[in-house]
Amino acid sequence: MRVRAVLLDLDGTLVDSHAAVRRSWQRWADAVGIPLESFFHRTHGRPGHEVMAEVLPERPLAENLADNRALLADEIEDTDGVRALPGAARLLASLAEMPWAIVTACTEPLARARLAAAGLATPEVLVTSEQTDAGKPDPAGYLLAARRLGVEPAWCAVVEDASAGVRAAIAAGMHVIGVGGPVEPAPTWELAGLDDLEVLPDGVLLRLVGSRVHRDGAPIST
C-alpha cells in the first residue's frame, strides 16, 4: 500500500484510555442521573458535548459545553491506567522519516497528557478538537491534517478503531485501516492490531501482515 502520509486516531488506536474515559463519564452520568450504559457506546471518538446533547436534547448548549470542559479537565488529571497499545511505539518510530499526524477528539492538553502517560511521541501535526468546527464523523480533522502535511487526501492512510473515525476518513477520500475489531462501515483494510502494520524502509510503503482486506465490502483473506 503506497502512501505519502499516515494519519492516526489516538484513543483506542494508539493508546488504551478506556478505563479513564469510563470513570469520567460515570461521574457525569451520576451527576445528571442517567445510567452510563444507556449511552456510553456513543462516546467513542466523538466530542463529549455532542454526546451530551443527544443524551439530554432539551438541555442548553452552554451547560453541555461547560460540563464537557469539566469532563476534559478531569481526564487530563486522571491518566491512571492509560497505556500504549501493542505495536504503537514501534509504529510511530517507523514513521519518523515520513509525514504523519494524530487526529483526535481530545483537546490538545488531553492528547498530550495521554501521549505522555503512554510514553509515545507527539507529532508535529496534532489535530485536536479546538482546531475544527465539527468532530468525527465530519472529515474536517483529517482534511486539516492532510493540508498541514502538504499531502493530498487520496495519498493518505488513516488508522482508526471507531466507526465515527472510519466514516470521517472515508468522507475525506482517504484509505482507511481499521484496527482492533470490526466496525461499520467497513474500512478499506481491517487488521487485528498495530503489530500487523509495517512501514517499509522507503518510507512510503505500508505492509499489511495477516490482515483481512475489504474491497467493495467483500472480505479477502491474505
11 catalytic per annotation:
yes
H/E element, 53: helix 48-55
* Contact status, residue 117 vs residue 149, Cβ threshold 8 Å: no
Reduced to 3 states (helix: H, G, I; strand: E, B; else coil), residue 5 is strand
Residue 205 to residue 42: CA distance in whole angstroms:
34
Query: Catalytic: which of 9, 67, 161, 196?
Result: 9
**Residues near 93 by Cβ (< 8 Å), separated by ≥ 6?**
121
- Which residue in this structure is represented by grid cell 470542559? 69
30 catalytic per annotation:
no
H/E element, 206: strand 206-208
Query: Catalytic: which of 11, 16, 67, 78?
Result: 11
Which residues are part of the catalytic machinery? 9, 11
